[in-house]
Structures are given as structure tokens and as C-alpha cells.
Structure 1
């Protein structure tokens, strides 16, 4: 127990006076009475505390593993700002991250609140907070429910977020952390894809003739059906699968554009290549120095914002596609066609395309969503370089691999898409890459 003198946090074994610094006994008494199972988890987590320092500025806070648990200068203003995410008059709310208790305390002052659920994102961080700060007032409020984050939790609205605990989320809370971060970032992401984006509008104009004359991707999917389809992404582990992809090919390969060069260098010609990105240099990076003669029998599925050179030089069949993003709204009216799922990454429409080509199995190869062995992409990709992400995801061994917020967001959106495809089996071929919910690890070819 943290409240035991022998188990006090080491750096506070002789706390300064006169301010009181040990509230664990009183806090824990309420916790044990109301949520005994959670109390046991926190008690166990207290045996393995992260590095921390008690900070005394304008306000008292904790500096844990390089992150401030709350503001050291104006905790109340910070909590008020976060509480504003919950609309006035809401009868219920969720809070992600307990922090020092300021945020739930402010929300519980609202007469309209009838139910408040506070989600603990890291039990060890909660133990430190319970030791150093008095939480008794809000912990004992009958409207409160306190729970620990679980790997399969979904976001519940309306919600507010304590940023410190979100960044300090433990392994079992990492998926929920990513979902919360993605939800917070969504309004800013949408701004990049507004219909009035001049760069994307220019691309649509340049490619209008191709879009008008090329068939929809649905013509590609209508004519063929396969037992198994392989989606080749450009993660570092893609090269681990060249042998079976080449020698024991279980089905057609749909390659994302960044994986094209490495696959061709390995002697593997994909049946389909998917490209969607409107960035200026995608053609130069992924297509310019490829032996296009190898791809005469391959199909290109593209979004109309890609570089015009890609469409001009592709030697095989081309199929136009788009997502439900606002930038394609006018096109959808002029050319009513089905849309492919896309939430920022080319792997999304590639996987959606695969679901339309099979009624059984989809294998994801190189879908790493992180940097196994400190590499950004598979060797041979123009973007491949040593890298160390500032964030992390769990791989299929339960180990942390470095990542970045974009990749984490793409992963969670893909998981959400796969969750709606219960009729199919998805296999993750790359245990060293990110664990992907709703997939099985590939142990033998289906």
C-alpha cells in the first residue's frame, strides 16, 4: 500500500512541512468501499510507480515520466477549459483521466449532472495522485462512477479529457487513448480536406478527363471473386513476407503505392495498386523510376487528387474511386458511384477494395502502424529511413513499438472498419508490427 510508511514514494519519504502530503488512507477508504476491484488494481500498481517529482509552483502538481499531470500555474483554469467540452445542461458525461481531480470536481458542481463516469487511464498514476492530493469530496459523490480503461472500450459522449493522464496511459488503456486523441483531432483533420482547398481543386481539374473516362473501381470488383486477398502495406515488416507472397501466393495482391517499388524489387508484381494522396511528390517517390512495363496487367485504383503524371504514365487499366470526403461531393453528383472507405491512409481504401474481392479471407502484410526495429518503411521504399517515434503502440507480443499520432489514428480507424465486417476473416501477418483488433495472427496460409 502506498499509504504504508514503508511503501511511501521514495522521493517523498521525508515530505516537507507544514503542507500535508499523504492522503492515501482517506482516499483509499472511499475507493475500497465503492469500487473494491479498482482499488485492488491501484494498490497493485502502486508497487511499480513511474518516475515522478512533486512540483510546487503557483499550484501543486506532479511531474510524472516527463509529463505534468496538471498545470503548475492555474489548475482551475485548465480544468474549466476542459470541462467546456461537456455542453451545459448535459445530464451525464465521461471524463478520460482522473489527474488531480479538478476536472470531475468542476463538472460535479453542475446541477444538471446526474451521472459522471471518470475513466482511470493508468492505475500507477492514479495511485500517486491519491497519495498526494485530497480527492474525498468528489470520490464520495453518489453521481460518480470510477472505472479503469479496458482495451475494448469505446468513446462515450459527451466527454472531457485531462491531457496529462491521456499521455501517461498504460498499455491496456492505449487503444482508448488513441480513440480519444483521434476524436479531438478530427475537426482539425477535416479542415485539410475542405472542398475549397485550392491545391486539391487544381488536381481535380487536371484529372477531370481521366475521371470522366475511366471506369469505377466497382467494375474491377464486379468481375472477380477470390477466396483470399493479400493487402501489402509499406511497413518495415513487409519484407518478412516476400517468400510466401512470391512462392505460395494465396491470392491476388493489392499493394499500396509506397509498397510498389519494394515488391517489384523482390520479384512480386501486384495485381492492383492503390494510390490516393494529393501530395506534390507522390509520383516522383513511388512511380517515377519504376519499370512500368512490368505493370501492364496490373490495375491502378486512384483518387482524383493524385499527381496527373501517375495517370498519364500508368500502362495498365485505371479505375477511378473516391471517398465520402467533402472534396469529392461535386464529383459524386456528376458521377454517382460507390465510395471506398478512407480516413487518411491509403491502406484504408486498399482494405475496403479487398473486402469487395473476397467473401472469406484478407491477409494484411506490412501493416505495422509503427516503427519496428526503428525503421519507418520497408527497405526499398523511397521514404525508408531510421526513425524513432515519440509515441507508441503495442505489437502482437504485447511490446511497445514507437509510432506517431497519425499512424495510431490510422490503426484505430482501420480497426473500426474491420469491426463491421464480421462475415470476413482478417489476418495480421506481422506480429512485430502493431496489434490490430479484430484480426488473427497469421500462422499458416488460409
Structure 2
């Protein structure tokens, strides 16, 4: 970086790369909290009036050497073996970033977060930043409120599968203690959210593809949630969740029937039936056997069921006589969307309650009203009476428990997962608040910022006075729906079955080639093996598998194998490893990969055959009915 007076030139560059930042910088340059000081060696530093004290952001003598010493300390205090990405909090005048970039290997990238627009304004006044903006290894964010960059930071953490390290330019903790604490807290929350998502993906790596393909018939013949777009414009819409506060007002829902649209999450269905209240829709998205227990033993009451392809198949087969599909949320569904583009699904937000909210928004519900949406554990209770979880209790000493603000302004106990959903609701509500009224009639639990607090009795008195044709509207949509694209879908399934058989064969060939390499290196190359030729064949096999798997049919089911191949014991190079030992380690990893390809292709082929039988039966029954 060259020291020049280049504020205007840098602003023009920023308008191309970070236009929102550029707009704020002109005003920030006029601030009086930061002063440029020239040190004894001619280097600039900044004197900053911080949150609680005033101090220098860099050494007044030699900020370059200071940054290098700081970076060496960071390296000594952390385990960098798996690091693929570094987050730096605090850019200052760029000295710590320069120390990092000049030392880190090229394959490790960096994200910089600068919390002060005024500091950044002085930085771009002093230094040409064109090289930084064009550096492919670097992400740059300037944000005094992390909520504006939450999504981007979360995506970066996810991209590097949590193989990240976080460092802070030390003076920021002294000058901006509250901002630094907020950064640390938010980074942990985002990392936790990513870890939950990754763990869920691993846990359901085989279950989700199995569920999706066991639901293939239902997906192909069911109407989409999008058939209901705007069908309940300006109709009060009540989302019934299963939080413990549902006990307070569930009995009042009978008075809302026919006057408001009632959407029930699966967890709350038993409690609703116990009170002899039939919702207009029930939403089920979870793919686990445990989720089926919410329905097990209940009569089929012909309640319209909104499901996702990953939903447990028994829920749909036993309670899906009036099923409605939300097609999305899984990489395998790209294949389905080729044949059913009109069935694009809802943005789920990760939970059944957030999915219900998106459906309420899609149909035009206004106001949207929460009940049973505690998002917390008031008095340690997790769920309403009548649900399968009614006996569960939570304590402050349980893992991952935190406090959030309750509707009464007092702290209420929750956990990291529920807090994540609370933040989702708050962000989503903020994005639509100008067009919809959102009411929280839970009468307990966490405060959801952006909602209007009312009791359910007040909601019914104010919004649910007149009868509306809710059931007839739903009946007409479901009765008049005619499935399309099922013939083409069946042909697509057959084509995928053929492709999976070929991938399995390619995996077998790759495994045998890898085993021959392993045997060669284990015997200290005593046998004659054209190693270069074998490696070329393996490369061709890899390329062919990648091309054949363009629909990503085996990717999800291979998650555990891919995790082992990319991060397992065979990826770690021990100190003092010889060339032969390295070759053995890599060959074992190669065997692990191709064995995984074979098994994944075989398993997916079986699931696809089941889907083929389902769809064939649907077409056969349709033909018979037409005759």
C-alpha cells in the first residue's frame, strides 16, 4: 500500500465494490473522534476517542513491526493445522492485515471486519486500497451494526466448514469494549447456527434422500403451496405453535374457527384435537421417526397437510389424503424441480413454525397472529399440555441455555436454537412490517421485536368478528387441482437409475485402482506398477463421476464419507512423514472415497427404484380412472 492522498479515488473504487459503504464515508470523514498522528519514523497512526477511553490504534514508533509481532503471537496461541480462513476484527490503518497477508499461505483467505466508518474513512484517505479490493483472498466489511453482515459472515463460516480462526487487532478491545464483546458474542452465535445446520445435515445425510424418494409419488401428484398465493388476502391468520403458553388460550380457538385461518404446527396437533378444534392446515416438515409420533394413533381427519419432501413418509401416507407440497430446501430436489417448476417451495427458516409463518405470509394473511410461540422455557416447561413433549423440563444449568427478554420485560430462559429462531422471526418481521401487521398473542415467553402484544381474547374481539369462506376456498383449490408432468418425471427417474448403476461401476473401478496403488506402496514398490498410468485413470474416473453426477444424486448421502475424506485422519500429515508413508496415507484416503461412491450409488439406486414403482402405480391408477 502506498501512502498518498487518495480519498476521492478510493471512494470511486468503493462505489463499484461496496456502494453502501461509500455513501456513509463522506459524512464519517467529518467526525471528530479520530485524529491522524505522524509517528517518529514517518508512519501514520490514529488517536481514537473510544467508548470509554482515548488511545492510539497503532504504535507511534513502528506500526509495521508492532503488527508483525502481534501476528506472531496470534500464530503461537492457536492451532492452525486445519485453518482455511481467518477473520480479522479491526482493520485500523491496515498494518495488521498486511502482516497476515504477507505471512499466510496463498490458499488461506481472510475476512476483515472494520466496525468504525470514521477509522475506515481515514484509512482510505491515507492509503491506496485498489490492491485490497482486487485481492481474491480478501473479503472486506465495514459495519457498525453486525446485523447488516450476519448473512455474509454466516455463509463464509459455512463455506469453510468451521475451519476458521478469529483474531482481533488488540487496541480495539481497549477502545471499543462493547463493540468487541458484541462481535465475539455474535460470531459464536453464527458459528453455533452453522454447526447446528451441519450436524443436522450429517444426521439426516441418508434419511433425507430416503424420505424424499419414498415421498416421490406424493410430491408428483400433490398441489403446491403456491396454489394458495393470495387466496386469504387480509384474512386474520393464526399460527398455533406448541409452546407452554398455549395452555393459556388454546380453548379460545373454537371461537376463531371459520373467522380466521388457523395454521397448526405438527407438534401442537394433539393439543388441538384434545380440545376438539380442527385447524385449517397442519404443517409437518421434520423427517425423523420422532416427528411421526405427533400423528401416531390419531384418526385421519382429512386436515390439509403441508409437507416438505423430507417429511417422514408415514405422516404423508397415513395423513396426507389432502397433501400440499412445498418443494425446496434440499439439493436433491433440483432434480424434482426440473419436472415440477410450479411447485417451488417456501423459505423454511429451519423450523416448522417459521415454515408456517412463510405460508401465512404467502396466502396473504393479515394480521398474522402467533399463539404458543414462546421461543423460551417459562418456568422450565418446553411444550404445552397434550403434546408428546409435555413432560420435558429445562434448567438454567442445562447445556446451551441463555436468557432473553420476555414479553414482560424480565429475563426468560431459552436455548441457542430457540434464540436463533427468535432472531429469524425478528429479521423476517422487520422485512415485511410495513405491509403486514404481526401480533404476538402467545401471552408468555420471549419478546419478539416487531410484533404487537395482545391477548388472544382481544385479537378475537378486534379481528375475528365475521364468518369467512375459509373451508370452501381450500376445498375448491384441492378439488380442482390437476397434476402435470408425471409421465416426464417417470422417464427422468428411469434415466437416473441407469446413471446410478454406471456411477457404482465407476466407483468399483476406482476402488480397485486405488487398492493396487496401496498394495504397491505397502510393499515398498517391489512390484511393477505403472503408477503414472493408474493416477491418470483415477483422474479420468473422477472427472466422469463428476459429470455423471450433475444432478448431485449421491452428494448428500456421501456427506459422512466426504467429511472423512476431506477432514479425516488420512488428511493430516504427521511430522517427519516419508514420501512412502504419504503415498500410503493418500492411497487409503482414495480407497475410502471410492468405497463411499459405490455404496452411495447403490443405496440411491434402491431408493430410486422405489420411487419408480410409486410413480408407475399413480400413472396406472390414473389411466384406470379415466377409462
Report TM bin, short chain. 0.5 to 0.7
* Corresponding position: 1:261 with 2:274: no
Which whole-Å CA distance do the structure 1 matches of 2:183 and 2:297 have between them? 39
8 Å CA contact 2:251–2:275 kept in 1: the answer is: no
SS of 2:323's equivalent in the other structure is: strand
The correspondence of residues 151-170 of structure 1 with structure 2, limited to 5 A, is: 155=150, 161=166
Deviations 1:131-151 (A, max 9, x none): xxxxxxxx9xx86xxx99879
Report the Cα offset of residue 39 of structure 1: 1.6
SS of 2:354's equivalent in the other structure is: helix
Which whole-Å CA distance do the structure 2 matches of 1:114 and 1:334 have between them? 40
Q: Which runs of 4+ in 1 moved over 6 A?
A: 111-115, 147-153, 173-176
Distance 1:162 1:432, change over 3 A: farther
Corresponding residue for 2:359? 353
Corresponding residue for 2:568? none
Distance 1:35 1:327, change over 3 A: farther
Which whole-Å CA distance do the structure 2 matches of 1:240 and 1:186 have between them? 35
8 Å CA contact 2:208–2:287 kept in 1: the answer is: yes
SS of 2:245's equivalent in the other structure is: helix
Distance 1:182 1:328, change over 3 A: farther
Distance 1:174 1:263, change over 3 A: farther
Give the one of 400, 405, 411 matched to 2:416.
Answer: 405
* Corresponding position: 1:386 with 2:397: no
8 Å CA contact 1:418–1:438 kept in 2: the answer is: yes
The correspondence of residues 279-428 of structure 1 with structure 2, limited to 5 A, is: 279-284=288-293, 286-292=294-300, 295-296=301-302, 298-314=303-319, 316-336=321-341, 337-384=343-390, 385-388=392-395, 389=398, 390-392=400-402, 393-421=404-432, 422-428=434-440
Which whole-Å CA distance do the structure 2 matches of 1:414 and 1:333 have between them? 31
8 Å CA contact 2:264–2:281 kept in 1: the answer is: yes
Question: Alignment RMSD, CA only?
Answer: 4.4
Report the Cα offset of residue 319 of structure 1: 0.7
Deviations 1:186-230 (A, max 9, x none): 266246448993221111221111111111122244644342101
Distance 1:188 1:223, change over 3 A: closer
Corresponding residue for 2:60? none
Report the Cα offset of residue 432 of structure 1: 2.6
Corresponding residue for 1:126? none
Report the Cα offset of residue 174 of structure 1: 7.8
Which whole-Å CA distance do the structure 1 matches of 2:269 and 2:183 have between them? 30
8 Å CA contact 2:328–2:346 kept in 1: the answer is: yes
8 Å CA contact 1:229–1:357 kept in 2: the answer is: no
SS of 1:381's equivalent in the other structure is: coil
Report the Cα offset of residue 114 of structure 1: 12
Report the Cα offset of residue 106 of structure 1: 5.8
Distance 1:206 1:387, change over 3 A: same
The correspondence of residues 117-136 of structure 1 with structure 2, limited to 5 A, is: 117=114
Report the Cα offset of residue 180 of structure 1: 5.2
8 Å CA contact 1:397–1:431 kept in 2: the answer is: no
8 Å CA contact 2:326–2:345 kept in 1: the answer is: yes
Corresponding residue for 2:208? 200
Which whole-Å CA distance do the structure 2 matches of 1:316 and 1:106 have between them? 62
The correspondence of residues 212-223 of structure 1 with structure 2, limited to 5 A, is: 212-221=220-229, 223=231
Q: Which moved more, 1:397-406 or 1:258-267?
A: 397-406
Report the Cα offset of residue 377 of structure 1: 1.0
Which whole-Å CA distance do the structure 1 matches of 2:111 and 2:363 have between them? 49
Distance 1:196 1:439, change over 3 A: closer
Corresponding residue for 1:16? none
Which whole-Å CA distance do the structure 1 matches of 2:358 and 2:431 have between them? 11
Report the Cα offset of residue 409 of structure 1: 1.8
8 Å CA contact 1:299–1:318 kept in 2: the answer is: yes
8 Å CA contact 2:225–2:345 kept in 1: the answer is: no
Which whole-Å CA distance do the structure 2 matches of 1:283 and 1:114 have between them? 43
8 Å CA contact 1:150–1:176 kept in 2: the answer is: no
8 Å CA contact 2:270–2:386 kept in 1: the answer is: yes
Distance 1:175 1:316, change over 3 A: farther
Which whole-Å CA distance do the structure 1 matches of 2:348 and 2:306 have between them? 13
Which whole-Å CA distance do the structure 2 matches of 1:199 and 1:115 have between them? 38
Which whole-Å CA distance do the structure 1 matches of 2:454 and 2:436 have between them? 14
SS of 1:236's equivalent in the other structure is: coil
SS of 1:247's equivalent in the other structure is: helix
Structure whose CA Rg is larger: 2
Distance 1:75 1:246, change over 3 A: farther
Which whole-Å CA distance do the structure 2 matches of 1:274 and 1:114 have between them? 39
**5+ residue gaps in structure 1?**
1-32, 41-73, 88-92, 96-103, 120-138
Deviations 1:7-59 (A, max 9, x none): xxxxxxxxxxxxxxxxxxxxxxxxxx8346x229xxxxxxxxxxxxxxxxxxx
Q: Which moved more, 1:207-216 or 1:77-86?
A: 77-86
8 Å CA contact 1:149–1:176 kept in 2: the answer is: no
Distance 1:398 1:195, change over 3 A: closer
Which whole-Å CA distance do the structure 2 matches of 1:181 and 1:406 have between them? 9
Distance 1:411 1:85, change over 3 A: farther
Distance 1:391 1:210, change over 3 A: same
* Corresponding position: 1:227 with 2:235: yes
